[in-house]
């Protein structure tokens, strides 16, 4: 891959720019910042170091940049072009596991910021386009049925399987710092949930409850890992799904909310604080 070098304080790209490449950090440190406010201040979404990947979202969904990449230390980057990414998606899906882990970690970080910002507000969404209509191994998977109001798993529990909704719907809930539970997302038929913990091996990041009688296909870790390794279509779906969710979460995070001015997510930092 082609290498590029940037100096401390350089901007690699800016929020709203078209995206035609992603980057892997060979050396140095990068800040991902978003939501420019008054006096040139921004929200810090992530601080990235060696081997981290960034800029991948615009490359995957061919949309504009959702954030600005700012150099904290002199760095060397490897450029990942659209051609390279799509070749890997089709021919070597397992090689994209680090990218999937990056998306998962970034989604956890931004969702945590959003949870702090909401502070008990309900935000209901059915706005993700990626669905898992195809049967990824029904014959080797099992199904579970959940009654209306039944908890499927709770935040903090170990992650040992993912679910694809066959029929019905579920609600994804998070607790804020005051312990109040809020509905942050609704998912309907053909949506997958619970996969983040299978990718990054962290505990469940939310509580999921059936909103009506719901039937789900259960994909346990061995089957999930097999699909990631040998089913390029499944890997592409995962990557696009995470990209959609991350883009939507960042957009929601950047919405102004006058009622939560003191929320941790609304704290802004000036660019020159990094100097």
For the chain, what are the domain ranges?
A: 1-91, 97-228+238-255
53 vs 5: which has the higher pLDDT: 5
Predicted pLDDT at 4: 96
pLDDT over 90 (residue 213) = yes
Q: What is the pLDDT of residues 41-100, one digit of tens each?
A: 677 888 999 988 888 877 777 778 888 999 999 999 999 887 887 777 677 766 666 676
CA angle 18, 22, 24 (to 5 degrees): 150
- Provide the 3-class DSSP secondary structure of residue 79: strand
Distance, in Å, from the CA atom of 214 to the CA atom of 166, rounded to the nearest integer, reads 8
Q: Which of 19-28, 35-44, 95-104, 260-269 has the lowest mean pLDDT?
A: 260-269
pLDDT over 80 (residue 212) = yes
Distance, in Å, from the CA atom of 125 to the CA atom of 271, rounded to the nearest integer, reads 33
Predicted pLDDT at 241: 73
**CATH topology identical between 1-91 and 97-228+238-255:** yes
Q: What is the pLDDT of residues 143-184, one digit of tens each?
A: 999 999 999 999 889 999 999 999 999 998 887 767 778 887
Distance, in Å, from the CA atom of 60 to the CA atom of 100, rounded to the nearest integer, reads 12
In the chain, the N- to C-terminal Cα span, in Å, equals: 30
pLDDT over 50 (residue 224) = yes
- Provide the 3-class DSSP secondary structure of residue 274: helix
Superfamily (CATH H level) for 1-91: Jelly Rolls (2.60.120.10)
Architecture of domain 97-228+238-255: Sandwich (2.60)
pLDDT interval class at 111 (50, 70, 90): low
143 vs 251: which has the higher pLDDT: 143
pLDDT interval class at 37 (50, 70, 90): very low
Distances (CA, A) of 233 to 189, 226, 267: 19, 12, 40
Burial (CB count within 10 angstroms: exposed 0-12, middle 13-18, buried 19+), residue 213: middle
Give yes or no for a contact between 196 and 249, defined as CB atoms under 8 angstroms apart.
Answer: no
Q: What is the pTM of this model?
A: 0.56
Angle between helical axes of 232-253 and 97-118 (0-180°, round to 10): 30
Dihedral angle, C-alpha 60, 61, 62, 63, nearest 10 °: -120
Burial (CB count within 10 angstroms: exposed 0-12, middle 13-18, buried 19+), residue 158: exposed
Predicted pLDDT at 142: 87
Give yes or no for a contact between 206 and 195, defined as CB atoms under 8 angstroms apart.
Answer: no
Q: What is the pLDDT of residues 112-136, one digit of tens each?
A: 666 666 554 544 444 344 455 555 5
Distance, in Å, from the CA atom of 53 to the CA atom of 115, rounded to the nearest integer, reads 24
pLDDT interval class at 264 (50, 70, 90): very low
Give yes or no for a contact between 48 and 59, defined as CB atoms under 8 angstroms apart.
Answer: no
The pLDDT mean for the chain works out to 76
Give yes or no for a contact between 94 and 226, defined as CB atoms under 8 angstroms apart.
Answer: no
Encoding tokens for residue 86?
């799509």
When pLDDT is averaged across residues 25-46 and rounded to a whole number, the result is: 77
Q: Which of 134-138, 208-212, 242-246, 251-255 has the lowest mean pLDDT?
A: 134-138
Would you say the C-alpha torsion 200, 206, 211, 214 has a positive or negative sign?
Answer: positive
With a CB cutoff of 8 Å and minimum separation 6, the contacts of 248 are 125, 127, 128
């Amino acid at each position: 891959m082609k290498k590029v070098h940037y100096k401390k304080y350089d901007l690699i790209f800016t929020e709203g720019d078209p995206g035609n490449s992603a980057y892997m950090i060979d050396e140095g440190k990068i800040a991902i910042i978003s939501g420019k406010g008054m006096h040139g201040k921004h929200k810090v979404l992530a601080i990235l170091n060696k081997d981290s990947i960034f800029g991948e979202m615009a490359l995957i969904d061919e949309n504009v940049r959702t954030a600005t990449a700012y150099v904290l230390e002199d760095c060397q980057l490897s450029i990942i072009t659209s051609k390279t990414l799509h070749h890997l998606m089709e021919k070597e899906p397992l090689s994209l596991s680090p990218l999937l882990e990056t998306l998962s970690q970034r989604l956890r970080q931004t969702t945590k910021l959003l949870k702090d910002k909401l502070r008990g507000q309900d935000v209901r969404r059915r706005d993700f386009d990626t669905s898992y209509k195809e049967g990824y191994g029904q014959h080797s998977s099992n199904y579970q049925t959940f009654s209306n109001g039944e908890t499927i798993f709770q935040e903090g529990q170990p992650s040992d399987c993912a679910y694809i909704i066959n029929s019905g719907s579920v609600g994804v809930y998070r607790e804020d710092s005051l312990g109040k539970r809020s509905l942050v997302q609704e998912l309907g038929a053909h949506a997958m949930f619970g996969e983040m913990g299978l990718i990054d091996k962290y505990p469940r990041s939310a509580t999921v409850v059936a909103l009506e009688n719901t039937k789900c296909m259960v994909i346990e870790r061995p089957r999930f890992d097999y699909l990631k390794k040998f089913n390029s279509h499944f890997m592409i779906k995962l990557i696009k799904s995470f990209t959609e969710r991350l883009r939507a979460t960042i957009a929601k995070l950047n919405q102004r909310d006058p009622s939560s001015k003191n929320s941790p997510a609304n704290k802004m930092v000036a660019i020159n604080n990094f100097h």
